[in-house]
A = this chain, B = another copy of it.
Amino acid sequence: MGKVTMGPQTLIYPMPVLLVGSNVDDKPNFMTVAWGGIANGEPPMISVAIRHTRHTLKGIRQNSTFSVNIPSSDMVEEADYCGVTSGSKANKVEVCGFKVFHGKLGSAPLIEQCPINLECRVINILNLGSHALVVGRIEETHVSEGCLTDGKPDVNKIKPISYIMSPATRYQALGEVLAKAFSIGKGLKPRQ
């Protein structure tokens, strides 16, 4: 199969839809981030890329804390809104009807309606160009009781959203289970 080159592109599939929160001038604000992922195992850390001009970044710098909230697919309208609106112009918490709580860190606002909430303390902020890559240590994890099965977070109840860039920007749900991890590949052996 032939290949086509397209120049440098920010093209990975799938990306998560994350609501990153901070208190800006003591007021909770949230923005949508698709450019983020786990950054370290022990201790647990996460990284999120945020454009320098974003209101949420101001609050992250003020408190050196932030939150990462995972919305479920029935929150797709709110998740999209938080990506297209600036907290400098609208009270997103009010518009979206988010119930906000604070946990262990005190200064990282968390969204009750989101099935998963991570409280993070800033470890590093790299200026990479258009964006700041904020690396945070995950200090506490909150999971909605209704999203557990046998005490474990259950993806079928969490119903996370994927952000897809191309051929058109859109949100997708997860689909069929393909295989068990750390298992299906064990059958592969060197070909004789």
Contacts and interface: CB of A to CB of B under 8 A. Distances in A.
- In the complex, the count of this chain's copies comes to 2
Nearest to A151: B4
Given A3-B112, A139-B8, A190-B91, A184 B128 contact: no
Interface of A: 1-16, 18, 34-47, 49, 51, 68, 70, 73, 76-85, 90-91, 94-97, 101, 103, 112-113, 116-118, 123-124, 126, 128-131, 133, 135, 137-146, 148-150, 152-155, 158, 160-164, 166-191
B191 A181 contact: no
19 contacts: A1-B112, A3-B143, A8-B43, A11-B141, A12-B38, A12-B118, A13-B70, A35-B37, A36-B37, A37-B37, A39-B126, A41-B129, A76-B178, A76-B184, A80-B186, A83-B181, A133-B135, A153-B167, A169-B181
